[in-house]
Structure 1
Amino acid sequence: MIDENLWQELESRQRTAGRSTRRLHPESSHDLHLAVAHPTLRRMLLVGTDAKTADIIRPEIHELRATRGLQLNLSSVTGNRYELQVVLTDDELAEVFTPLVSDIADVILKTPTAEAAAEAMVRRYVRWQQLLRSVSREGLPLRSRAGLFGELYFLLTYAIPAVGERTAIRSWTGPQQASQDFQLPGAAVEVKATTSRSARSIQVMNERQLDTTGSTSLALAHVVLDSRQSGHGQSLNSLVNEVGERLTSPSSIRRFENLLVQAGYLQSQRDLYDHDLYTLRRDEFWVIDDGFPRIVEADLPFGVRECTYTIDVSALDTHSVTSEALVELIRGTHD
């Protein structure tokens, strides 16, 4: 597990120029290391690869846009050995860097070859670039704040009580841009939160969100919120704290903190989230089964992609389930 203590140990190892390194996942065939350069104390993730793979990914790296505080470099080590380096160049992003390298390392571990690992690393780096560009000095956009609040509400109210904290935290995939927000033991769940006054429609962002291909069961949760700047309600910060206090496992706590960063919620911006207060108006649930109004990838004509559409809630009555039935579904204990 990558944490601040490990970085500090690497930073204190030597006083001369060079690098302190620590191998990650030594049981893996992939050559993964954390490193700190001396005397600059620049933190790095290093991934070893071969010359053939380096030739394949070099054009992709050269085409990457610059991002404040981060660099992705390809460096020659020996004749046939190269090194991919993710480098933290701005200490203001230190709280982002640990979740970033943990996420990239996890993605690499799932790949079978050095070439696949390098390509996955570049793709994941690009996703983090997009995340960092989307989080401005004003913090998350209002819609994203409500969306994160809805996911955390579902995590705290339904997922953790149903399957326990470790499984629930591992199942929360919304911050990782998965097709659905939760991949629970018995079902995937897509959570839609809204502060709209009418709240009688649901926007589906792409053709995969409600696609049951590859999923045993799929449910849709609609969390309808009131939002105000004063009075009664719960802030996003308060809900984050409440979930954190519910967790007892150190690994679950670290994963939760990393996922918050991936969602664009940064500790350094917490003061931005104290004033928006949310009150639950209602939550409602539907099972995605035969006859559910949706568009999936198989429905798209050739050449059409990235489909966004809106569902009228009034058309979903026959697919409605109670919260108790939803809990049984996500546990995998329904009939």
Structure 2
Amino acid sequence: MADIINRILETWESLLDEPGAGSQSARYRISGSPRFGAYLAIRFDDRAPVLEFGPITPDLLKDAPLPSIKGVDSDLSYHNQELFLSLTLKQSAAIDIFLTLAARLSDDLSGVDYPITGYNVIRRVLVVWRAFFSSEKKVLSGSEQTGLAGELILATMFIDNGIEVPTVIRAWKGSERSHHDFQLPLASVEVKATIAHNIETVSISSLRQLDPTGTQKLFLAQVAVDSHDHGDQTLPHLVSDIRQRLSSFPADRLEFEEKLLESGYRDKDESNYAQRSFQVRKVRAFSVDENFPKLTYDTIPEGIVEAAYQVNLGTVALQALTFDDLMLAISSNQND
């Protein structure tokens, strides 16, 4: 099965090569069924990408209007006397987000037979995706780059040590602002990446971050890296490497792209990240058990509703696990 992201990108490139001018447009079918289709189109007057869906009936929009999305106009248009819903991208800088949205909708609308079903799918997806278009954020800060690099480095290490690629991508929750960065089948892992030379102190941002409730086992993994102005291990390289590993897993590739967008990573910003390389210095982990110093909702005085704090890992240095130890621990069914 072809990678749906690559298929959408290739379709867009083909549309850009189509001859046309003025008010003309061209479109290719990307998903759907004989009764309801999804199309990627181009308007030649402004070279704007358009997603079209239909045929539909006007009462669908009246009963359940689409959410408003910054930089995306929704409208109705006719093709061969049939009514179609169209979404037109008005901010060209968001083309990568728009084409990833096209891939998500293409996947979710595959095989949809009826307009009401298709419209409900579109509306549900757009409710989630409007946040991607509304962000004013430009590029990741230095600390955000380090944090994302640490998570991608650990994801790659998991894959290299026998955990299946789809399992790792589905487990990655850091971009979703979940309590723990990886929620694997048998354990959760919270990742702390640092470029500091003193790796004895880590910052904990909430009472949930080291709360093992709901997990079989919880580990804190520290990824210490050196940051260099030149080198191969850049954020774009880490992203490209995982994309390559996902070439045989199209559904998981799409999920990875969505999580990258949620993390704030955009391909158009690659030049801002290409000069900073992350060289792994040390990876170690700690079992977050009753002996690990932490604050959780169950351990704080009544009246405190949230807290951010720091943990001195030197107090539990003898409990540190190597990465191999961590792999053994998260693969074991037996609780410690």
TM-score, with normalisation over the residues of structure 2?
0.69
Write the mapping of 1:108-147 to structure 2, written as runs, cut at 5 A.
Answer: 118=123, 121-130=126-135, 133-135=136-138, 139-147=139-147
Going from structure 1 to structure 2, the CA distance change for 1:266 and 1:50 (only over 3 Å counts) comes to closer
- 2:311 counterpart SS class: strand
In the other structure, the counterpart of 1:236 is: 235
In the other structure, the counterpart of 1:179 is: 179
Shift of 1:194: 0.9
1:17-47 deviation per Cα after TM superposition (whole angstroms, max 9, x unaligned): 5784747566xxxx88454254455334568
CA distance in 2, matches of 1:100, 1:286: 38
Whichever residue aligns with residue 328 of structure 1, its letter is L
1:34-85 deviation per Cα after TM superposition (whole angstroms, max 9, x unaligned): 542544553345688554433xx76xx4xx7x5xxx3264x579xxxx9986
Shift of 1:154: 0.5
1:287 aligns with 2:287: yes
Whichever residue aligns with residue 185 of structure 2, its letter is P
Is contact 2:43–2:50 with CA below 8 Å preserved after alignment? no
Going from structure 1 to structure 2, the CA distance change for 1:140 and 1:300 (only over 3 Å counts) comes to farther
CA distance in 1, matches of 2:186, 2:63: 42
In the other structure, the counterpart of 2:92 is: 91
1:215 aligns with 2:215: yes
In the other structure, the counterpart of 1:4 is: 9
- 2:147 counterpart SS class: helix
Shift of 1:113: 12
Shift of 1:145: 1.4
Shift of 1:144: 1.4
CA distance in 2, matches of 1:155, 1:116: 31
Percent of pairs identical after alignment?
22
Write the mapping of 1:7-86 to structure 2, written as runs, cut at 5 A.
Answer: 7=12, 20=27, 22=29, 24=31, 33-36=38-41, 38-40=43-45, 42-45=48-51, 49=60, 51-54=62-65, 61=68, 66=70, 70-71=71-72, 73=74
Whichever residue aligns with residue 178 of structure 1, its letter is S
Going from structure 1 to structure 2, the CA distance change for 1:308 and 1:87 (only over 3 Å counts) comes to farther
CA distance in 1, matches of 2:208, 2:120: 27
- Number of equivalenced pairs: 310
- 1:193 counterpart SS class: strand
TM-score, with normalisation over the residues of structure 1?
0.70
Shift of 1:222: 0.7
Is contact 1:186–1:330 with CA below 8 Å preserved after alignment? yes
Structure 1, unpaired ranges of 5+: none
Whichever residue aligns with residue 162 of structure 2, its letter is A
Write the mapping of 1:145-224 to structure 2, written as runs, cut at 5 A.
Answer: 145-224=145-224
- 2:162 counterpart SS class: helix
Whichever residue aligns with residue 322 of structure 2, its letter is T
- 1:134 counterpart SS class: coil
Structure 2, unpaired ranges of 5+: 78-82, 111-116
Shift of 1:125: 1.3
In the other structure, the counterpart of 2:267 is: 267
Instruction: State the structure with more CA Rg.
Output: 2
Is contact 1:192–1:223 with CA below 8 Å preserved after alignment? yes
Shift of 1:327: 1.2
CA distance in 2, matches of 1:122, 1:298: 37
CA distance in 1, matches of 2:178, 2:108: 13
Is contact 1:72–1:84 with CA below 8 Å preserved after alignment? no
